[in-house]
A and B are shown apart, each in its own frame.
Chain A
Amino acid sequence: MGALRRSALLLALAFAIVPVGYAIDTEAAFPDPVLQDRYEHLTNELRCLVCQNQTIADSNASLAGDLRREVREMIARGDSDADIKRFLTARYGDFVLYDPPLSARTVLLWAAPGLLLLLTIGIVVRTVLRRAKQPFDDETEESA
């Protein structure tokens, strides 16, 4: 491949990686602050599938705008958060959720904090108990 074509390809890749900009949502806010809160919360948890490194709240992509509109309409219609997430995952898969849903495949992710904490405490306790049995002279030393 000639150097020029390769440059063009790399350029195209560069565009592919650059986020085009940040979006401002100028639709009127929900009069009910609870609904507006839900809207903001949801759009900040959903992944933009075009740029893939922003939430749909932040992304300038046309699809992100369309998805924000869908979320807005669903909230106005009375759909629950779960309904909205189900709607989106039915079309885009779990990838669209930045908060991974709990399933057999992600159980390790969600159990990890608890497990690791237990493991950590276990190791610390075991080490401390072992060291407590080893001899040492008490020092009457200052420490900060």
Chain B
Amino acid sequence: MWRYLTPVAAFLVLGALFAYALVRIQDGKLDPREIKSPLLGKAAPAFVLPTVADTARQFDSASLKGHPYVVNVWGTWCPSCREEHSALLVIARRAGIPFIGIDWKDDNALAQQYLGQLGNPYTETVADAEGRVAIDWGVYGAPETFLVGADGRVLVKYAGALTEAVWAEKFAPHLQGGG
């Protein structure tokens, strides 16, 4: 008798799995398209890139050692980046830590125009024309925002347009108590 119930039992287990998955998707805790960063908890990749304003000047991430900072990957070609820009301005001003903008595969002139028109939230804006630094950071879309702690480890990665709510929920808690 019991062996005839095996199919039902197996199916119920599968059904439970699906139900659980759907509920978690609905709650926003699960996104099949999202890729979790393997960098979390590891040392942030070092980089040396020319700045957008002056391509002769190189910016070295080593200068950020010892205190927390934020890296935001963006581009003028990216509509969601435009969406988050006003929030970024507010967040950057309030946060009081360096905000490094990595202009990903973009045109310097366009970038300068963009920042001139919409405001510049970044302490430093660098140009990753070839996309190598973005690959080092595991970037797969724009915008993406990273929080690096004072010890140089990546604490948070957020893919998507940043909002003040997201900042408060995911980023700010790491900065209270001194980073």
- A→B interface (CB under 8 Å): 49-50, 52, 62-63, 66-67, 70, 89-93, 95
Residues of the B chain whose Cβ atoms lie less than 8 Å from the Cβ of A62: 105, 131
Residue contact A52 to B33, C-beta cutoff 8 Å: yes
Q: Could you write out 21 A-B pairs with CB less than 8 Å apart?
A: A49-B35, A49-B141, A52-B33, A62-B131, A63-B139, A66-B105, A66-B135, A67-B135, A70-B132, A70-B135, A90-B38, A91-B136, A91-B138, A92-B35, A92-B138, A92-B140, A93-B35, A93-B37, A93-B38, A93-B138, A95-B35
Smallest beta-carbon distance A73→chain B, Å = 10
Residue contact A49 to B140, C-beta cutoff 8 Å: yes
Residue contact A50 to B141, C-beta cutoff 8 Å: yes
- B→A interface (CB under 8 Å): 33, 35-39, 105, 130-132, 134-141
Residues of the A chain whose Cβ atoms lie less than 8 Å from the Cβ of B134: 63, 66
**Assembled-state Cα–Cα distance A73/B60 (Å):** 24
Q: Which 10 A-B pairs have the closest CB atoms?
A: A49-B140, A91-B138, A66-B131, A93-B38, A95-B35, A92-B138, A62-B105, A50-B140, A66-B135, A63-B140
Residues of the A chain whose Cβ atoms lie less than 8 Å from the Cβ of B132: 66, 70
The residue in chain A whose Cβ has the minimal distance to the Cβ of B34 is A95
Residues of the B chain whose Cβ atoms lie less than 8 Å from the Cβ of A67: 135
**Assembled-state Cα–Cα distance A49/B35 (Å):** 8
Residues of the A chain whose Cβ atoms lie less than 8 Å from the Cβ of B36: 93
**Assembled-state Cα–Cα distance A67/B140 (Å):** 11
Knowing that A62-B105, A66-B131, A66-B135 are A-B contacts, what are 14 other residue pairs whose CB atoms are under 8 Å apart, sorted by A's residue number? Answer: A49-B35, A52-B33, A63-B135, A63-B140, A66-B130, A91-B39, A91-B135, A91-B136, A92-B35, A92-B138, A93-B36, A93-B37, A93-B38, A95-B35
Most chain B CB within a 10 A radius of its CB, from A50, A91, A93: A91
Residue contact B137 to A91, C-beta cutoff 8 Å: yes
Smallest beta-carbon distance A56→chain B, Å = 11
**Assembled-state Cα–Cα distance A95/B33 (Å):** 10
Smallest beta-carbon distance B110→chain A, Å = 16
**Assembled-state Cα–Cα distance A49/B135 (Å):** 11
The residue in chain A whose Cβ has the minimal distance to the Cβ of B141 is A50
Smallest beta-carbon distance A123→chain B, Å = 11
Residues of the B chain whose Cβ atoms lie less than 8 Å from the Cβ of A89: 38
Residues of the A chain whose Cβ atoms lie less than 8 Å from the Cβ of B138: 91-93
Residues of the B chain whose Cβ atoms lie less than 8 Å from the Cβ of A66: 105, 130-132, 134-135
Residues of the A chain whose Cβ atoms lie less than 8 Å from the Cβ of B38: 89-93
Residues of the A chain whose Cβ atoms lie less than 8 Å from the Cβ of B131: 62-63, 66
Residues of the B chain whose Cβ atoms lie less than 8 Å from the Cβ of A52: 33
The residue in chain B whose Cβ has the minimal distance to the Cβ of A88 is B135
Most chain A CB within a 10 A radius of its CB, from B33, B36, B37, B138: B138
Residues of the A chain whose Cβ atoms lie less than 8 Å from the Cβ of B140: 49-50, 63, 92
